[in-house]
Amino acid sequence: MTTKSGAVGGKGASAAELVARSQAFMEYLQDVSARGERASEEQLEGLGMARTPHEVLYEEGSCRLLSYDVLGPRNDAPPIFMVYSFINRWYILDLQPGHSFIEALSRAGHKVYLIDWGIPGPENDDLALDYYLETVALRAVKRIRRAEGGRKVTLFGYCIGGTLTAMMAALHPEHYAGLVLLTAPLSFEDAGILSLWTNPKFFDPEKITSTFGSVPEKILHSSFPYMKPKEHLSRNRTLFENILDEQYVKNFRSIERWSTDNVPFPGRVYSDFVKGCYQEDRLARGSFRVGGETVDLGRIRCPVLNIYAKNDHIVPCSTAERTAQLLTAARTTNHPYDASHITVTVAHPIRERVWGDTIAWLEANTARAAN
């Protein structure tokens, strides 16, 4: 068996190599155990992560609006506003230099903004989704438009962040020139294993939020390995086989650092989202409400790029493929890739294809609608 570094692995490995691997593997585990559960800005910098130059343009509570430098000649496309999920942190989109969706967009001449939801505290427990969408995100959009001379914005949402951006585009279509959905569920009727886990016969989200307030990150993180337990176990074996390959370990470390850097899920948002989307599928049925207003996906008229992964266990193909049927007034481009929920953005060579296809779509579909 040949490892990704070219070394011989498994039974063919020499005794000296196995000793070297074992020592390096133990050093890696010791480093992981010493780093703490949440990555600080200093730790991210030390690991070479989240390095695309940016500044904080606006702050609201725990949330920050980040404005990224344009690293190439500025193009005519509208500014991009990225929205990530509430579960993990945003820097999966800016993992490392050369491994960053944000960097790729910036080098192609796009102006990128991103909302960092921050680390929710007890004061966030009772805040509803309308606070995050109609106060934080909408104010961020207005600030972006002001900074960009009134130009419309292209929304870009990853995972649940894509669900949120679709809601934003439906509630205030006048602000948006385009919408990019990256492995984002809009229909939850058949959401794979998450449909089973959130089945209302067995699961009441309010029992968690009434006990804890916001959902502790440890509860969220401990559930992820059980979604694909075989893959979770084989990942460490593959790491051991490639532990002497510095570049492999660097990439593995950055993804592992991000995947374990969970944050609390705001309590009321969690219970409302699980009930309204996963249990009752109200967004797809046209009855989900934000701030007293019904979210009608049929109001989205900007062009939409729907990126999804064929091997996604979080947002199955059947869910992603239904998006175009729900966006009845939008011109939707479906773009499936042979990847998983995470590898679609971080694995070589898929990530470069996704970046290139997204950039080409943005330049072809959003510039005309920017003003």
**Is position 246 within any domain?**
no
Query: Which residues are designated catalytic?
Result: 159, 312, 341
- Structural domain boundaries enclosing 150: 49-216+264-369
Q: Which residues pair with 335 in a beta bridge?
A: 307
Residue 321 in any domain: the answer is yes
Residue 81 lies in a domain: yes
pLDDT (tens digit, 9 = 90+) per residue, 267-283? 999 999 999 999 999 99
167 located within any domain = yes
Instruction: Evaluate whether residue 39 is within a structural domain.
Output: no
| Burial degree of 320 (CB within 10 A; 0-12, 13-18, 19+) | buried
**13 falls within a domain:** no
- Please report how many Cα atoms fall inside a 13 Å half-sphere around the Cα of residue 144, on the Cβ side: 29
Residue 330 in tokens: 């939008």
In a domain, 25, yes or no: no
Domain count, the chain: 1
Entry pTM: 0.92
Residue 350 lies in a domain: yes
The amino acid occupying position 5 is S
CATH of the domain at 202: 3.40.50.1820
Tokens of 154: 């292209």
Q: Is the peptide bond prior to 349 cis by the omega test (within 30 degrees of 0)?
A: yes
- Per-residue pLDDT for the chain (371 aa), expressed as one digit of tens each? 344 444 444 556 788 888 888 888 788 777 776 666 677 888 888 889 999 999 999 999 999 999 999 999 999 999 999 999 998 999 999 999 999 999 999 999 999 999 999 999 999 999 999 999 999 999 999 999 999 999 999 999 999 999 999 999 999 999 999 999 999 999 999 888 899 999 999 999 999 999 999 999 989 888 877 788 887 778 888 888 998 999 888 889 899 889 889 899 999 999 999 999 999 999 999 999 998 999 999 999 999 999 999 999 999 999 999 999 999 999 999 999 999 999 999 999 999 999 999 999 999 998 776 66
Q: How far apart are CA 240 and CA 42, in angstroms?
A: 27
| Distance from C-alpha of 25 to C-alpha of 82, rounded to nearest angstrom | 36
pLDDT tens digits for 328-353?
A: 999 999 999 999 999 999 999 999 99
